[in-house]
Amino acid sequence: MAPTTTRDAELPDLTGRRALVTGAGSGIGLEIARALAAAGAEVTLPVRNRDRGARAIAHIRRTAPDARLRLRDLDLARLSTVSALAEDLRAEGAPIHLYVVNAGVVMFGDRTRYLTEDGFELHFQTNFLGHMALTAGLLPLLRQSGARVVLQTSLAAAVSRIRFDDLQLAHHYGALRAYGRSKLALGLAGTELARRSDAERWGVTVVHAHPGVAPATAIATDIRRRLPQPFVRWATAHLGNPPAQAALPALQALTVDAANGDFFAPSGLLQFAGPPRRGHPFRRMVDPVAAGRMWRVADGLLAASGAGGGRLH
């Protein structure tokens, strides 16, 4: 079958493939899920809000009426739901061929440091630790299929630094700092996951991507409310990548030939926008010592929590 062209994405025929995309209820994740479904994949959409999930499915079916879609419950800020989803999917036993770690929270403009019910800083758990628990829980299904795993990082990770003595910003909290650090932590854990897959011959390929700047999403709602609305509308229309184009680096990372540790990002100035291309990962994201340490820290936190999808050892 000829490749499927989905807006600006040309994907191979994915019939018979199963995909799972976190954060597919809106924005970039929704566009990734829509493109995969249009290419024939069966797509699982784990969502925090069922009404939003139903709207996402309706949106996908407008351009892919025959899409095979499954709605599941997941709130990355509640490790009990991570555990429940991973257990359910393992019980079903169906392999996962394409796995996109995309969901995230961005609290720019809000000075409050929020803690989840599990006791972790909100960015840290949602963007990083919850995803690591889910990945660990799904690892048998990923290994079963020789899956392609794409971790969605951010430009904020490129200018962030990990402080292992204050990972969750209990001191000197700032939302932008917390977001960037959580995305860098995710990238480091992905680097270690790729290393382990190679060393232990899991057959799982781990690739990094980032969407550039995508203002036409639900990012930074607190700042949006404070800024003049004409400016917000202009920025949304003219700056960065629209969601469909912002989805392209991850879609390329999912479907082209790639090796463990490859990196896909927008090709424009400073990687803010533009068509996707393969490039060099952020230097701090591929530090092998920091990557191993981040993996061990996450494993210890999950063990101490007594919840989550699985352990990382």
Residues with active-site annotation: 179
Instruction: State the virtual CA torsion across 271, 124, 97, 212 in degrees, nearest 10.
Output: -10
For residues 99 and 120, what is the distance between their CA atoms, to the nearest angstrom?
Answer: 24
For residues 313 and 311, what is the distance between their CA atoms, to the nearest angstrom?
Answer: 6
Instruction: State the virtual CA torsion across 196, 198, 200, 204 in degrees, nearest 10.
Output: 80
